[in-house]
Structure 1
Amino acid sequence: MYVVLDIETTGGKYNEEGITEIAIHKYDGHKVVDQFISLINPEKEIQPFVVKLTGINNNMLRTAPKFHEVAKRIVEITEDAVIVAHNAQFDYRILRTEFRRLGYNFERKTLCTVELSKQLLPDAESYSLGKLVRSLGIPVSDRHRANGDALATLQLFKLLLSKDLDKSIVKNVLRNETQGELSPRQLDIVETLPSEIGVFYIHNKDGEIILLGKSNNIKKRINQYFTNNGEKARKIQKETKRVTYESTGNELAALLKENTELSRNKPKYNANYKRRLFSHGVYQGVNDEGYIFLTAEKVNPRKEPIATFNSLQGAENFLHSIREEFQLCNKINGLSQAKKECSHYSEDQCLGACIHKEQAENYNQRVHLLIKKYSIPSNSILILDKGREAGERCGILIKNGIFKGLGYFNLNHQINNIHILESIITPMDNNENTRHIITSYLRKKKGVKILELNT
């Protein structure tokens, strides 16, 4: 027995969404034997983008039943049945979250028509519900409404069942361990975690850290580890006894903490903690005419890069972007194979270094400005970013060109006094990865506040 369902929600933070509409069709493999369709009052506001997408607004839901009023009906219609949904993990998570708020542990087996379609319809251009059913000639009305999407999913499921001639795929998907299902202990762990940016630590029964990582949403990331079906994820699920975390307030602090603590703790499931975080760099040299040229190439341990990147394409894109910012020459930097002047000279975007019209000294001054802007500064600075709570700021300290660590401050005098500053800072490793993290972050994040310090 199957129950094909679709759920619409309020949107919002992970695991804080509320259900606004639900449609369930009980299907015995031949025909629909029962159904339940209802708007639901989520007792919270709907996100504007959801209103625009679904057409469901707050006024429509004021007189609708609340979830606790329909919970018994949902339990009854789904009992002894497998939940079928397009992206089943999402719908199942939402249902389990609502029931957990009522103190009830809702558990069902699940079957995802996205995953099944990828196996039985491998040539499909898209596996989104709308595009997939349209390509299969399945009619769909009331798209992005629960019943319209549930009926489309039902027709898709019927087609998939008919294509599964030897039934081996369905048997594999409907194995004993329900996909995407959390144990009560795992649910308790996830429930205590915040939907915040920071670093999480997964511990085994001996308290040892077996995995740590940075995430923009700690609760969501741990939930993914617990619902993932891969071999590594299953091992982690089996060994996990507890999850702790540290909120950081901003991404740069989370990345720096992750980098330092990986090398110190060496968790067994962080196999790549020793790896270099970048593969390419932009390097400088001087040509025969005295002009400083910049090249994008693979990392060279014998040379000091101006900036580091995850790919050759990223490094070359950087060279193109700085050409415009500092009026540099693509021919000098090897990005143009022009025999005479580069194409930008005729457009008045190059000052003529390519044909020696601009003096090398003037050209090189702009290159030095570029290097100063995009390299770790040789002086002492404090990079200021968001703190963990209102009124708090995070500071990343670089002293005489060396990364020292980070700390959190509530008062201005803590930031302006270098001795107090150093006493508050948590020391961290200064290495090629931390330099890459900091410079990459500053390149991407415009408007980050940098305070110059007197030491």
Structure 2
Amino acid sequence: MYAILDIETTGGKYNEEGITEIAIYKFDGEKIVDQFSSLINPERRIQPFVVNLTGINAEMLRNAPKFYEVAKRIIEITEDAVLVAHNAQFDNRILTTEFDRLGYNFEKDTLCTVELAKKLIPGLPSYSLGKLVRSLGIPLSDRHRAQGDAKATVALFKMLLAKDASKEIIQKCVRKDPKRQLEPKLLEMIENAPNETGVYYMHREDGTIIYIGKSKNIKKRLVQHFTNDSKKSKRIQLEVAAVTYEKTGNDLIAQLKESREIKQNKPIYNRALRRTFFSYQLTSFTDKNGYINLSIEKANHKKEAILTYSNYQQAKSSLYRITEENGLCQKLTGLYKSDSSCFLYSIKECNGACIHEESAAQYNERVQAFIEKNSYDNKHMLIIDRGRDVDERSVVLIENGQYRGYGFYNLNYQINNIEILRTIINPVNNDRDSQHIIQNYLRKNKVINIVKLPEEATI
């Protein structure tokens, strides 16, 4: 759990500042679960430059509560939470000083979104909150007021969590959150899980990730894990101390995240999925008569694949469908062994390429159209689909036939600026597994939109 906050102060000498406004949002990693904000009478003079910056003046604070009057509420909302702020050292120091004046020892672990942003989104010209969120397409209202800045920090932190593929943020917080081990632990984990699509992470007590999975219903999948009697499941049930998760809004991004993060984190109980996702591929070659043939082969990373498949039966079923939908010849797709015509020719569903009645040029035109539609070569596009909330969309970027990453954006903001797109995309290194996942998903599922990008607009 996180307590994301922003504090406005009077300014002045070090450790003599007073709080003029505070806003705290309690955030569970997915949504805000509690919030508190208030003007505060600092009982001291506000520096003129601060009045000009924030607009908060002494008259506004005359009848505001004093810090001791809101201290209990601050303790309650930050209980068992890690403090998150933009320049967290400052906000934590101010709060600690105020509580010291009351004789209360206020100690919290902190995360700084400035430091996290510099690590996860390197190379930006500025990491001040205003310039940073603008560059990332995050809305910001009431700049230099506690509520506006804290709400923008929530959106920024949510984006940083998504970009943290190594899960350093989550693992650190799991180690510091003793309530996650309350008994009965498995029932509590199931109860707290969402009935939504996403990726989930099983942790040992020290925060180490031991298993990564994805599901269209995380709660239902955890029930399966924790009621399974297999040796692997029983070991997981004994070792798991906490389950964290990230909602993805759709299964495509869940699959891509799962594949990438298993390879990156190498959890002990994900051995099988560290290997490649596909074992067969569809390729093409031109025979001695000039006809383009399609062929199912065992996966070969040295050879260009049109499509990839998890197993041979899936590949064969797909090829039957491809042959039928594109008016191809069963003999030239390797589905009908014959020295003469294919079966489809006998029922007048093949134009006779198998016995050279149809010219190679005419036949190859349909094969090339199929290959062009399904091949990633030189493709530049955005795959737009559902996001994690109703007002959000997800985007997957394909550039030069390579998977470049994914991101999320608010529907109120049109992503037509390539520089903004660059910042919201979580960049990844392309691999054949990601290509397999995307192609397989698009074969079986409808997405909201596919936007073709002109070459000059690619990142």
Superposed pair shares fold, TM > 0.5: yes
Residue 266 of structure 2 aligns with an amino acid whose one-letter code is: K
Structure 1: which 4+ aligned runs deviate by more than 3 Å? Answer: 411-414
Matched, 1:366 2:366: yes
Letter in 2 for 1:345: Y
SS in 1 for 2:274: coil
Alignment of 1:89-100 (within 5 A): none
Distance in 2, Cα, partners of 1:311 & 1:184? 40
Distance 1:297 1:401 in 2: 21
How far did 1:391 drift?
1.9
CA apart distance, 1:377: 4.8
TM-superposed CA distance for 1:256, in Å, is 0.2
Gaps of 5+ in 1: 1-181
Select between 303-312 and 341-350 the one with higher mean Cα deviation.
341-350
In the alignment, which residue of structure 1 is the partner of 2:211? 211
CA RMSD of aligned residues (A): 1.8
Is 230-239 or 286-295 further displaced after alignment?
Answer: 230-239
Once the 2 structures are TM-superposed, how far is the Cα of residue 352 of structure 1 from its aligned partner? 1.7
Deviations 1:90-124 (A, max 9, x none): xxxxxxxxxxxxxxxxxxxxxxxxxxxxxxxxxxx
Deviation at 1:337, TM superposition (A): 2.4
The offset of 1:183, in angstroms, is 5.0
Residue 92 of structure 2: aligned partner: none
Q: 1:337 & 1:209 partners in 2: Cα distance?
A: 50
Opposite residue 371 of structure 1, the aligned amino acid is I
The residue aligned with 2:392 is: 392
Residue 230 to residue 339, structure 1, CA distance change in 2 (3 Å) = closer
Q: Distance in 2 between matches of 1:339 and 1:447?
A: 42
Q: Distance in 1 between matches of 2:450 and 2:183?
A: 46
CA distance in 1, matches of 2:332, 2:431: 31
Between 1:438-447 and 1:343-352, the stretch displaced more is 343-352
Deviation at 1:428, TM superposition (A): 2.3
Displacement of 1:303 in angstroms is 1.3
CA distance in 1, matches of 2:344, 2:430: 40
Distance 2:365 2:452 in 1: 22
Q: Deviations over 1:141-171 (max 9, x none)?
A: xxxxxxxxxxxxxxxxxxxxxxxxxxxxxxx
How many correspondences in the alignment? 274
Q: Aligned residue for 2:304?
A: 304
Aligned-partner Cα distance in 2 for 1:270–1:208: 13
* Cα drift, residue 363 of structure 1: 1.3
Greater Cα shift, 270-279 or 443-452: 443-452
Aligned to 2:151: none
Q: Name the structure 2 match of 1:416.
A: 416
Secondary structure at the counterpart of residue 273 of structure 1: helix
Q: Is the 8 A contact 1:196 1:217 kept in 2?
A: yes
Write the distance in 1 (CA, Å) between the matches of 2:401 and 2:414: 21
Render the CA deviation track for 1:56-108: whole Å, top value 9, x for unaligned.
Answer: xxxxxxxxxxxxxxxxxxxxxxxxxxxxxxxxxxxxxxxxxxxxxxxxxxxxx
Whole-angstrom CA distance in 1 between matches of 2:272 and 2:331: 38
Distance 1:189 1:317 in 2: 40
Q: Tell me the CA shift for residue 448 of structure 1.
A: 5.1
Q: In 1, distance between residues paired with 2:185 and 2:315?
A: 46
Q: Which AA in structure 1 matches 2:248? A: T
Deviation of the 1:314 alpha carbon: 1.6
Equivalence for 1:189: 189
Listed one character per residue, the Cα deviations across residues 240-289 of structure 1 (whole Å, up to 9, x for unaligned) are: 22110000111001000001111111111111232111111111111000
Q: TM-score, normalised by structure 2?
A: 0.57
CA contact under 8 A between 1:404 and 1:430: conserved in structure 2? yes
Instruction: Give the alignment of 1:2-81 within 5 angstroms.
Output: none
Deviations 1:336-369 (A, max 9, x none): 2233222322433222211212221221121111
1:340–1:232 distance in 2 versus 1, CA, 3 Å:
closer
Report if the CA contact (8 A) 1:260-1:429 is conserved. Answer: no
How many angstroms apart in 2 are the aligned matches of 1:218 and 1:421? 29
Distance in 2 separating the partners of 1:416 and 1:352:
47
Of the structure 1 ranges 250-259 and 339-348, higher mean CA displacement relative to structure 2 is found in 339-348
Q: CA deviation at 1:416?
A: 2.1
Matched with 1:449 is 449
C-alpha distance in 2 between matches for 1:332 and 1:186: 54
Q: Residues 394 and 347 of structure 1: is their aligned pair in 2 closer, same or farther, counting only changes over 3 Å?
A: same
Structure 2, unaligned runs of 5 or more: 1-181
- Measured at CA, do residues 244 and 339 of structure 1 come closer, stay the same or move farther in structure 2, by a change above 3 Å? same
For 1:428, the aligned partner's letter is V
Structure 1, residues 407-453: CA drift from partner, whole Å, max 9, x if none?
Answer: 11113754322221121011123101001000000111146521111
* CA–CA distance in structure 2, aligned partners of residues 414 and 429 of structure 1: 26
The residue number in structure 2 matching 1:227 is 227
Post-superposition Cα deviations, 1:164-205, rounded to whole Å, max 9, x if no partner, equal xxxxxxxxxxxxxxxxxx952222222111011100011111
> Which stretch has the larger CA shift, 208-217 or 347-356?
347-356
For residue 301 of structure 1, give the secondary structure of its aligned residue in structure 2.
Answer: coil
Contact 2:385/2:447 (<8 A) preserved: no
For residues 231 and 347 of structure 2, the distance between their equivalents in structure 1, rounded to whole angstroms, comes to: 57
Distance (Å, rounded) in 1 between the aligned partners of 2:384 and 2:377: 15
Structure 1 residues 274 and 257, CA gap change in structure 2 (3 angstroms): same
3-state SS in 1 of match to 2:415: helix
Question: Counterparts of 1:236-275 in structure 2 under 5 Å?
Answer: 236-275=236-275
Which shifted more, 194-203 or 213-222?
213-222
Instruction: Identify the residue that residue 53 of structure 2 maps to in structure 1.
Output: none
Give the corresponding residue for 1:43. none
Q: Is 1:414–1:421's contact at 8 Å kept on the other side of the alignment?
A: no
Contact kept in structure 2, 1:418 and 1:453, CA below 8 Å: no
| SS in structure 1 of the partner of residue 334 of structure 2 | coil
CA offsets 1:290-319 (integer angstroms, 9 cap, x no match): 001011121123311111112222212222
- Change in 2 beyond 3 A, CA 1:333/1:351: same
Q: How does 1:29-178 map to 2 (within 5 A)?
A: none
Match of 1:284 in 2: 284
Cα distance between partner residues in 1 of 2:297 and 2:357: 28
